[in-house]
Amino acid sequence: MRILTGLQPSGKLHLGNYFASIKPMVELQNAGQNEMFIFIANYHAMSSANKGAELQNSTFEAACAFLALGIDPAKCVFWVQSDVKEVLELYWILSGITPMGLLERAHAYKDKVAKGIEANHALFSYPVLMAADILLYDAKLIPVGKDQIQHVEIARDLALKFNNNFGEILTLPEAKIAENVAVVPGTDGAKMSKSYKNTIDIFSTDKQLKKQCNLVVTDSTPLEAPKKWQDCNIFNIAKLFLDESGQAELKARYERGGEGYGHFKAYLNELVLDYFGGARSKYEYFITHKSEVRDILDIGAKKASELANAKMAKIRDLAGVF
């Protein structure tokens, strides 16, 4: 079964990005039971990013980060969205059958505008481009968070409408909602998000990482007193890295007292460095070997283009493109 997912190049990756999205995706890839299609959604990023050099840099850095964290081009098709121009052609063809009301009901658009993001056409038509991403490659399963379910439903609606108008050619996608996805708290206890400026970034410098860990909000329990791990932001982040035995050991340290929150912050810093040590080294390698990264992306784009070209030849014919 073909599984497709797009990842926006939206700045530095943090623990929330990894545990909620990237780790489950890499596990799917490594299971070897499905065809994995993974792309960097730089066209989608243009709905909110309008600085050319900044977007180019973030796209390259995202490629380095995803490769460092386990995306394996030998096990999946990995490319940059803009390297396969057919997606824009299908986007336009689908736009011709997309009812305005369907887009006006999109929750993500309304939520982003309510948060002060500029209401431009790219943001409004985002679901149509996402539908083109999915339908161009005959993807069956689309791993998404709950906030993206509606977009997959829109892609399905457009596929049905196209098929009814022109013949059965587009595969109907299904949203794959990951069960038990980790909700990663930020340094302030709220959901970790760049918007809240409460992140712990995977590829920050050692100094920056230590500073971010030290920013985790705690209470004022004295050093010598036992502490409640249940409500501690440090523990709730640290447990993501620990098995049952490791969590039990950390709970015991909290309950017996004698250690301050500074000790636990230092321990969290060690956990992050140990867990991502290999990925951080790989990231530094890829960042300094741009041509190698470009070659990897070009190979992925070639594979994606072969499918896209064949699909678009059929779609053009049915849609009447001369």
pLDDT at 49 over 80: no
pLDDT at 10 over 90: no
Q: CA 92 to CA 70: how far, in whole Å?
A: 34
Question: Residue 183 has what pLDDT?
Answer: 79
- For 242-293, what is each residue's pLDDT tens digit? 999 999 999 999 999 999 999 999 999 999 999 999 999 999 999 999 999 9
Cite the DSSP H helix spans in the chain.
Answer: 15-17, 23-31, 42-45, 52-68, 86-95, 100-104, 107-114, 121-124, 126-136, 149-166, 206-214, 233-238, 244-256, 261-287, 290-319
pLDDT at 188 over 70: yes
pLDDT-derived band at 116, boundaries 50, 70, 90: confident
- For 289-307, what is each residue's pLDDT tens digit? 999 999 999 999 999 999 9
pLDDT at 45 over 80: yes
Phi/psi of residue 120, nearest 5 degrees: -105, 175
pLDDT-derived band at 180, boundaries 50, 70, 90: low
Q: CA 25 to CA 292: how far, in whole Å?
A: 23
The least confident of 69-78, 115-124, 255-264 is 115-124
pLDDT-derived band at 148, boundaries 50, 70, 90: confident
- Please, what is the average pLDDT of the chain? 94
Task: Give the active site residue among 12, 75, 140, 194.
Answer: 194
State mean pLDDT over 202-214: 97
112 catalytically annotated:
yes
DSSP line for 51-82: -HHHHHHHHHHHHHHHHHTT--TTTSEEEEGG
Token pair 């658009």: residue: 109
Element (H, E) at 290: helix 290-319
Which residues share a beta bridge with 78?
Answer: 38
Sign for the pseudo-dihedral over CA of 253, 254, 260, 263? positive
Considering 16-20, 117-121, 264-268, the range whose residues carry the highest mean pLDDT is: 264-268
Question: Residue 109 has what pLDDT?
Answer: 83
Cβ pair 187, 200 in contact under 8 A: yes
State mean pLDDT over 174-190: 85
pLDDT at 199 over 80: yes
Task: Give the active site residue among 75, 112, 282, 303.
Answer: 112
pLDDT at 111 over 70: yes
Task: Give the active site residue among 23, 75, 176, 191.
Answer: 191
Number of H helices and number of E strands within the chain?
Answer: 15, 5
pLDDT at 60 over 90: yes
How far is residue 209 CA from its own chain's centroid? Answer: 21
Considering 25-34, 104-113, 175-184, the range whose residues carry the highest mean pLDDT is: 25-34
Cite the DSSP H helix spans in 167-202.
Answer: none
194 catalytically annotated:
yes
How far is residue 185 CA from its own chain's centroid? Answer: 17
191 catalytically annotated:
yes
C-beta neighbour count of 57 within 10 angstroms: 12
Cβ pair 234, 268 in contact under 8 A: yes
Element (H, E) at 14: none
Question: Residue 144 has what pLDDT?
Answer: 87
What single-letter amino acid sits at 259?
E
